[in-house]
């Protein structure tokens, strides 16, 4: 049974770095409002929501040039067409929430990579959700992002931490990591030795995506059941090669030369976290000179600050990758 059959309408979007929140939100919201307009009870309110969306898009098109959405109704003058994102998004989600309430359903907005939403746009979204919560409208945000997301939302709106829950999703527990490897294999009548599972857990740091990669490559390396520790050793080489060419390389290619050197200095110190002063010392410069570089790396999702003054990679094993792709000491000469 899908979510809508259970009484929930969902908007599933990903926030890329180069697009605005209105641009990615508007087309998805249009689809939900069109579905709600087929509900007899909610038809009028849903159609008013579509009018609000038309006014919203037209008014903000001058500011957010990437908004592209079809118009099913002419705008209603004065409804979400002020040209101010915070005001208009509040009116738009409030109108959509009223339609959802009338249809006895809920509107759930799922946003991945939420840390890439600009502060002004994030503030507008928080304000709009605060308003729908005050009016007890069935509008909910489920966002996912890197560890700095809590701080970003707190800076956008000081009351964000009271409005939202921020559960941390990190490495799997040892038992869950073992299950993630053993159960899919067992479902295919393949066993994995306990030694092999322990090695996978050690090599992956129990990071969910890495567990998938090591599980896949261990499966491909094994010629028969059970999958043994030798299979995992062989799989480690192919798994790391695959990550280097895709997962890690995509991140590396987004970096400036100075950002690469900063991360290489972090890698020289180990997997971290590291004090900002220690990283600067490794680079032979004053810590204050790296403020902009560090901020850019946080904005790009490469590093985060678990505690004040500390810096850590956002994904495990990136320190080893930096050493592989920038070997030796040549990187220091360019500093």
What is the per-residue pLDDT across 23-43, written as a single tens digit (0 to 9) for each? 999 999 999 999 999 999 999
**Least confident segment among 9-13, 30-34, 206-210, 261-265:** 9-13
Give mean pLDDT, residues 317-321.
Answer: 95
- Four-way CATH pick for 250-333: 1.10.287.130, 3.10.20.30, 1.10.10.10, 2.70.240.10: 1.10.10.10
Intrachain domains 174-245 and 250-333 with the same fold = no
Band of pLDDT at residue 335, cut at 50, 70 and 90: low
Tell me: pLDDT of 247 over 90: yes
Band of pLDDT at residue 306, cut at 50, 70 and 90: confident
> Which helix (DSSP H) or strand (DSSP E) does residue 185 occupy?
helix 174-186
Do the Cβ atoms of 119 and 72 come closer than 8 Å? no
174-245 is classed CATH 1.10.8:
yes
Tell me: pLDDT of 328 over 90: no
Listed in sequence order, the residues at least 6 apart from 44 whose beta carbon sits closer than 8 Å to its beta carbon are none
Listed in sequence order, the residues at least 6 apart from 151 whose beta carbon sits closer than 8 Å to its beta carbon are none
What are the extents of the domains in the chain?
Answer: 4-163, 174-245, 250-333
**Which residues are bridge partners to 141 per DSSP?**
109
Determine the Cα–Cα distance for residues 256 and 275; give it in Å rounded to an integer.
Answer: 22
148: DSSP letter? T
Do the Cβ atoms of 142 and 112 come closer than 8 Å? no
């Amino acid at each position: 049974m899908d979510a809508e059959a259970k009484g929930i309408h969902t908007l599933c979007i990903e926030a890329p770095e180069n697009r605005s929140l209105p641009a990615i939100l508007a087309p998805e919201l249009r689809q939900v409002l069109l579905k709600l307009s087929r509900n007899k009870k909610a038809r009028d309110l849903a159609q008013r929501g579509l009018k609000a969306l038309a006014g919203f898009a037209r008014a903000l098109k001058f500011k957010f040039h990437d908004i592209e959405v079809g118009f099913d109704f002419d705008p209603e003058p004065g409804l979400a067409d002020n040209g101010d994102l915070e005001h208009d998004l509040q009116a738009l989600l409030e109108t959509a929430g009223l339609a959802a309430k009338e249809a006895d359903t809920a509107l759930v907005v799922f946003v991945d990579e939420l840390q890439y939403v600009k502060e002004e746009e994030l503030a507008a979204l928080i304000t709009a959700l605060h308003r729908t919560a005050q009016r007890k409208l069935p509008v909910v945000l489920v966002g996912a992002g890197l560890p700095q997301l809590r701080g970003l939302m707190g800076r956008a709106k000081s009351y964000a931490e009271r409005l939202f829950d921020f559960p941390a999703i990190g490495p799997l527990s040892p038992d869950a990591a073992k299950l993630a490897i053993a159960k899919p294999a067992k479902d295919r009548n393949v066993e994995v030795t306990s030694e092999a599972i322990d090695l996978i857990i050690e090599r992956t740091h129990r990071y969910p995506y890495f567990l998938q990669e090591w599980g896949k490559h261990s499966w491909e390396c094994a010629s028969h059941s059970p999958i043994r520790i030798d299979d995992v050793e062989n799989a480690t080489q192919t798994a790391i090669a695959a990550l280097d060419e895709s997962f890690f390389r995509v991140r590396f290619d987004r970096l400036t030369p100075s950002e690469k050197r900063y991360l290489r200095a972090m890698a020289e110190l180990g997997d971290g976290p590291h004090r900002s002063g220690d990283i600067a010392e490794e680079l032979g410069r004053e810590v204050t000179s790296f403020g902009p570089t560090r901020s850019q790396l946080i904005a790009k999702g490469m590093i985060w600050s678990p505690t004040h003054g500390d810096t850590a990679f956002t994904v495990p094993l990136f320190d080893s990758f930096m050493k592989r792709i920038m070997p030796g000491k040549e990187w220091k000469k360019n500093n």
